[in-house]
Every structure is written in structure tokens, then in C-alpha cells.
Structure 1
Amino acid sequence: MTAVHAPGVDEPPRSTMFSNARVVGDQIFVSGLHAGDGAGGILGDGSTYDQARIALTKIQRLIEAAGGVMDDLVVLRLYMTDIDEKAEVGRARAEFFTGDFPCSTLVEVRALVDPRLTVEIEAQGVLGSSR
């Protein structure tokens, strides 16, 4: 098992006791990522679209650091605080995938770790599977 680190993706503080991403064999597991900047702020303009785009960019950086591409993702789990904004998340997703879309779960939640966050995305894939 190997931890994955990528430029532009802040490492969680050790006190939180989790990793952003781990590779086991050819599988990659990515923790729920969001638009937080790692210093208590929110990146981007705060819109649901922008927050989804930022979370997916972080996922892409981790996948690429592990030697894969976004189309290697098999599953996305999306957590939103307002399900009525799902089209905005879909618009962001369409910018990151060129092949078949990954399997997906979309769940509305009452809150995320910071009340300013509207989207958190978790991913799982098989490196090299899209080739």
C-alpha cells in the first residue's frame, strides 16, 4: 500500500488520521475531496459548479501522480448539501471524462466539514484500466 501525494493537493493534517489517496496493487482509493484550501478557506468562487470542478481537479492530480488518468476511475461518490444543484456538478463532471462515465452515487447530506462547502467527492479506480 502506497500513499499518493500531488502538487496542488494539500495533505491532511496528521491529527485527522486519513490520507488523500492510497494505491493498493493497481487500485486507487481517493478520500472525499472538496474545495477547501487546507488553511481554513475555500478555493474558487464558492459556487457548486466551481467547488465540484476544484474537487475533481484535486482527484485528477492524485490519479495522475499515481500514473493513471481520470478515465481509470470506476466509482465516484458525491455528497452535496443541495441536491437541486446536481446539474452544476454534472456540468463539472463532463469536463473531466472522455470515455464512459464512472459508476456514481449522489447523496444529499445535511452538512459537510465546513458550512461553506457544498460538494465533496470520493473516487475509486483501477490504474491503467482505460487503456
Structure 2
Amino acid sequence: MFSNARVHGDHVFLSGMHAGSPEGVVGGDDAYLQAQEVFRRLSALVEACGGCLDDLLTLRVYLTDMTDRSAVGRARAEAFTGDFPCSTMVEVSALVDEGLRVEVEAQGILGSATGG
């Protein structure tokens, strides 16, 4: 078993999120659409922890094809309204389910987006 999110004090830790679902991959084979879903899921998780997406300070982005970099970057730019989080992006040979192109894991400090 694992946790999708953990809070320790005002720190939030989010497991890697991807666009997989029981019905298939949200966004199909489109890395941009998958990334949009990933950022929606990260936002929902951090909100459930009492924060907002802009409270996330670091991202680790895993791509199965580095040529998807600009598409994922565009989705990230649309998702964040404040300062962009520090990010690391790496290419991996595979993710947990076939068809997934992007996975993002994150950490942040709840309330940091508002100067908390």
C-alpha cells in the first residue's frame, strides 16, 4: 500500500501522479492532455490537504519520451499562476501502465503561495 499524499506539519508530499484510470489513459496518447490531467490531480490532492497548487515548490517530472518536454511544459505553465516550482525532468524507459507518457511527483509547503 502507499499514500497519494502525506502532510507533516505544513509540508506536503505528493506521490507521482499520472493520467491512468480503470477506463484507460485520460488524454489517450497525447502528452499535453495527459499532463493537464496530471496537474488537475495534483491540484485536487494538495487542495484536499488544505493548500493550493501554487504551494508546490518542487516537481519531479518523468517522461517516457523527452520530445514531450514542450507539451508538458505548456500544461505546467497553464496550471501554475504564481512562481513556477523548481523542477527536475528525466526520461524513463516506462511508467507503471502502458500508454502513460508523463508522471509528476511534488513537494510543497502549505500556505506558501500566500506568504503563509
Give TM-score, length-normalised by structure 1. Answer: 0.84
Paired residue type of 2:10: D
* Cα shift at 1:46: 2.8
Structure with higher helix content: 2
Provide the residue aligned with 1:34 in structure 2: 18
For residues 43-71 of structure 1, what are the alpha-carbon distances to aligned partners after superposition, in whole Å with 9 as ceiling and x for unaligned? 12330001111011000001111111111
Cα RMSD (Å):
1.0
Find the residue that maps to 1:19 and give its secondary structure. Answer: coil
Query: Quick one: distance in 1 between partners of 2:2 and 2:64?
Result: 23
Find out whether 1:105 has 2:96 as its counterpart. Answer: no
Instruction: Give the aligned partner of residue 47 of structure 2.
Output: 64
Matches of 1:46 and 1:57, distance apart in 2: 18
Identity across the alignment (%): 58
Q: What are the ranges of 5 or more consecutive residues in structure 1 without an aligned counterpart?
A: 1-16
TM-score for both structures, normalised by structure 2: 0.94
CA distance in 2, matches of 1:66, 1:20: 11
Question: 1:76: which partner in 2?
Answer: 59
Choose between structure 1 and 2: higher strand proportion: 2
Structure 2: which 5+ runs fail to align?
none
Deviations 1:14-59 (A, max 9, x none): xxx111111111010000010011x262112330001111011000
Runs of 4+ with >4 A deviation: none
Aligned length: 114
